[in-house]
Chains A and B, each alone.
Chain A
């Protein structure tokens, strides 16, 4: 009999970090798969997390495949499963199955400059591909991150972002002015326009709220980026993760299998069903 893909592997939560508190809290969970099960994945892929008794939720993997010690997920508290995850403690056991989805075609980007553009929790899927490129820095051109959140409190990976500035260009922004804030004030698309990344030999990856993605793409087009240079990720409600339960499709595409990563050249031709 074939491998039963519906059966999650058990994993221990080995570290929980509070990224953002308040009404829209975000926590980062580091997990370790138990019983020496393997979990190889490509950056941009997702995993179906189980809280037994609550159900499952599809979450993007925010650690790099280069990291072998843990699998990391940064999760906004939202529905039943993510709310339960937020109540869990280090040492608790969850289920993980996958990985699912296509992932970023990072092998095709060797030698190119990569501009990562994120908003809010959208930095989670970027984090995996960013650290993969950073881990093989000599294989890629310039790496730039443009990231923003509503307020300075809403910024995820705060400490890591400061560390990251030593290794690559990082442009941060918040939506409205705050005392002590020395970087850009305004929305992420405005920061993109302000920093004017060059489209020459470049790829951009943009993840965040749909409205942000829409205007980032517009800003990038204005700067001369072509559709095929712009990548993003899409999310839809999922149950099976393997293109059978029938709900996550955008037109002909099952996001769980054919996505979640799309170039704008592909996505702009799909119906608005996400």
Chain B
């Protein structure tokens, strides 16, 4: 379903979404991040990119998996603490960030469905915004089967046509949101459709960066496990893990018990984001560590995203948002790392 929404009607449409919590990019000092919106008039969609992606909403950095305690008659008890997410709409999602949610759906689905993830995910509607110009100088979505107007993971894709948005509903959830603002939408004209095509085509031309020979990367990596290339590529790594924490697709987590009272025992089991860049991620209790150095850990990050994940799910586990490049304190650049892989394999 395709519609046109005049920009001045955006707040009115959002006001009509009474049954939903609304998240949108919000300025937080010098940066943008997603926040709950109280007043629809506050939504501005002229942001570039949020520091954290909507991953923080579908898969929060910290969540309680269960509580344990002791009953009055001294019996140990555990209580399931599944999240209760209110129906929510996330506005202004960059198409790459929505694709990350689409990729994460694969991880938390499959033969073991993760109920914590899906309790939230099922309640969340993603409304995306085409990147008419790249939000970051390090964007490279075209290299990883994405685009500035990609639709994976989105329920609605909005494209800014100047004074109005071209709105494409991609799912039933999207149709539902359209129905809540029926009178506000117009039918697209032939001119609108032509303009949309031009903006979307132009949006691809503005991307400055790309990975060389991306199609060959998985098979090149396959033969590079033992290579000393990883020592070289990881030399400057500070193992801070920001590349993985900010990555919209990184899903690795830790699980730990937090104790409030030791006797009788009372506490909770929490899940938190974790990173393959930390030494203790894989360290056995004996002290033995299968990935004992920076080289093996950078290799794991690259292999997971560009070899293992494509083998498992047919997609790269990278959306080309460039966050890991822009925020790495020592300038490790995934594009350069992969170009190095190509050169190595050449």
Per the CB 8 Å criterion, the residue count for chain A at the interface is 41
Inter-chain contact total with CB atoms closer than 8 Å: 112
Residues of A that sit less than 8 Å from B by CB: 1-2, 4-8, 10, 50, 52-57, 78-80, 82, 93, 95, 235-237, 239-240, 242-252, 271-274
Residues of B that sit less than 8 Å from A by CB: 65-66, 68, 75-76, 78, 80, 82, 107-108, 110, 112-116, 118-119, 225-226, 251-257, 259, 262, 265, 267, 269, 274, 276, 281-286, 290-291, 296, 300, 303-304, 307-308, 311-312
Known contacts A236-B282, A252-B311: does B253 contact A245 (CB below 8 Å)?
yes
The dominant DSSP class at the B interface is: mixed
Q: Is the CB of B78 within 8 A of A247?
A: no
Contact check: which of B112, B119, B226, B291 meets A1 at CB < 8 Å?
B119
Bound CA–CA A186/B286 (angstroms): 24
Known contacts A237-B283, A247-B276: does B113 contact A2 (CB below 8 Å)?
yes
Q: Is the CB of A271 within 8 A of B225?
A: yes
Chain A residues contacting B114 (CB-CB under 8 Å) are 242, 244
19 residue pairs from A and B, CB less than 8 Å apart: A4-B82, A4-B115, A7-B66, A7-B78, A7-B80, A10-B76, A52-B76, A53-B257, A54-B257, A236-B290, A237-B285, A245-B252, A245-B253, A246-B251, A246-B274, A246-B276, A247-B281, A249-B308, A272-B290
Bound CA–CA A273/B230 (angstroms): 15
Chain A residues contacting B66 (CB-CB under 8 Å) are 6-7
Contact check: which of B68, B82, B116, B282 meets A237 at CB < 8 Å?
B282
Q: Is the CB of B284 within 8 A of A235?
A: yes
Known contacts A55-B255, A239-B254, A252-B311: does B112 contact A5 (CB below 8 Å)?
yes
Q: Is the CB of B285 within 8 A of A52?
A: no
Closest-CB distance, A109 to chain B (whole angstroms): 26
Contact check: which of A2, A54, A244 meets B253 at CB < 8 Å?
A244
Q: Is the CB of A240 within 8 A of B253?
A: yes
Q: Is the CB of B78 within 8 A of A10?
A: yes
Q: Is the CB of A245 within 8 A of B254?
A: yes
Chain B residues contacting A247 (CB-CB under 8 Å) are 252, 274, 276, 281-282
Bound CA–CA A132/B75 (angstroms): 34
Chain B residues contacting A4 (CB-CB under 8 Å) are 80, 82, 115
Known contacts A4-B80, A5-B112, A247-B276: does B267 contact A53 (CB below 8 Å)?
yes
Bound CA–CA A237/B291 (angstroms): 11
Closest-CB distance, B343 to chain A (whole angstroms): 22
Chain B residues contacting A78 (CB-CB under 8 Å) are 285-286
The dominant DSSP class at the A interface is: loop
Chain B residues contacting A248 (CB-CB under 8 Å) are 282
Q: Is the CB of B308 within 8 A of A251?
A: yes
Closest Cβ neighbor of B311 among chain A residues: A252
Q: Is the CB of B285 within 8 A of A252?
A: no
Apart from A1-B115, A55-B269, A237-B282, what are 13 other A-B pairs with CB-CB below 8 Å?
A2-B113, A5-B112, A6-B66, A10-B78, A50-B269, A53-B257, A53-B265, A57-B285, A78-B286, A93-B75, A247-B252, A247-B281, A252-B308
Closest Cβ neighbor of A245 among chain B residues: B253
Known contacts A6-B116, A244-B112: does B254 contact A52 (CB below 8 Å)?
no
Chain B residues contacting A1 (CB-CB under 8 Å) are 82, 115, 118-119
Chain B residues contacting A7 (CB-CB under 8 Å) are 65-66, 78, 80
Q: Is the CB of B251 within 8 A of A79?
A: no
Chain B residues contacting A274 (CB-CB under 8 Å) are 290
Chain A residues contacting B119 (CB-CB under 8 Å) are 1
Bound CA–CA A82/B286 (angstroms): 11
Chain B residues contacting A273 (CB-CB under 8 Å) are 290-291, 296
Chain B residues contacting A246 (CB-CB under 8 Å) are 251-253, 274, 276, 304
Chain B residues contacting A5 (CB-CB under 8 Å) are 112
Bound CA–CA A239/B274 (angstroms): 11
Nearest first, the 6 closest Cβ-Cβ pairs linking A and B are A79-B285, A246-B252, A242-B112, A2-B113, A52-B68, A78-B285
Chain A residues contacting B115 (CB-CB under 8 Å) are 1-2, 4, 6
